[in-house]
Structure 1
């Protein structure tokens, strides 16, 4: 079992497991989205770490989560400012015939759709919110195209949809959990998320 963990921040993929650069920022390596001949998406340049137990995998997750961009807004004291992408890769070798089986589990924590007036976002927070909302719109376009069985699915419109391509189309199994607020003041965000 191995994993890589990325953050999509302001439309840039950042490796959350890479050692910090000299300036204290996240890993300096460039991460690019690539696909194998079989259509499996992978992050070229991302640090991939092996885990021999659930505890080791959880420790990697905690390490990566601590590197995410967060800041306070009027709606949330610790608002994530990015999408988190965790890919768990599983390889199994048949000891009888030597054949190799592989699997991939992608866990994607999408940042919420925000209304700048409610969050009080300005300057860099406003740029972050615009980037988040743009990628969520692109994801909505992909889901709509897949649902309508259109001949063209616009995966390339966002890095988010590119990295999620093998999790959404083909024979992938996808489960989306939408967390919504029961508060009437969040009704617009709730409806947008559900749509």
Structure 2
């Protein structure tokens, strides 16, 4: 589990000393995580902690542990506003008990965080930097989706760490589902349209 915070990938399972987290980290300088692709084109985070789970309960416990280390902050619009993109990579392995063959697949769950207008959220200083970083990577994602849907010869995955991490979830034979949560309030219609 990673977060993309101010254009830096941070491992939510590893503390600043490199040991597995049991306490929320202080959000200082974290272990370096780099985006890589294997020979099959599967994106992975080199330097990130990998955990095993053999049940839904174990997976949920890991999810809760890592989420406790995510950057959140109060704004005028949300008392617990996420200040980053959350990236969960789940490698699923299935063994056929009859012939012993193993099938693997990757499920990527990404909380894109919301685009926000500083005037409405009251973001200043550090929060404004966080919002600008989120909005920049969301714009890059829009560019990638536009290039893919237009079948352009060049898809600008490298314009953002977010799109680099999501590359194998967007192009090729990947199946992508985006769930958009929008406000029903008329005062938020500008954000809804965006």
Same fold (TM over 0.5): yes
2:9 equivalent to 1:13: yes
Counterpart Cα distance in 1 of 2:53 and 2:25: 26
User: Which residue does the alignment assign to 2:178?
Assistant: 176
Deviation of residue 18 (structure 1)?
A: 1.2
Q: Deviations over 1:7-45 (max 9, x none)?
A: 000000000011343994358321100001111000011
- In structure 2, the residue matched to 1:70 is 72
Aligned to 1:53: 55
Corresponding residue SS for 1:145: helix
**Deviation at 1:90?**
1.2
Q: Which consecutive unaligned segments of at least 5 residues does structure 1 have?
A: none
Deviation string 1:37-69 (CA, Å, 9 cap, x unpaired) is 111000011100000110000000011111110
Alpha-carbon distance in 2 for matches of 1:158, 1:25: 25
CA distance in 1, matches of 2:25, 2:80: 20
How many residues were matched structurally? 188
Pick the aligned partner of 2:103 from 101, 104, 111.
101
Alpha-carbon offset, residue 94 of structure 1: 4.0
Which position in structure 1 is the counterpart of 2:45?
43
Provide the C-alpha distance between the structure 1 equivalents of 2:91 and 2:25, rounded to a whole number of angstroms.
28
Unaligned runs of 5+ residues in structure 2 are 19-23
For 2:145 and 2:138, the matched residues in 1 are separated by 11
CA distance in 1, matches of 2:5, 2:130: 7
Partner of 1:167: 169
**Distance in 2 of aligned mates of 1:29 and 1:104:** 24
Q: Distance in 2 between matches of 1:144 and 1:97?
A: 43
Name the Cα RMSD after superposition. 1.7
Q: 30, 33, 52: which is aligned to 1:31?
A: 33
Q: Contact 2:25 / 2:69 at 8 angstroms: preserved in 1?
A: no
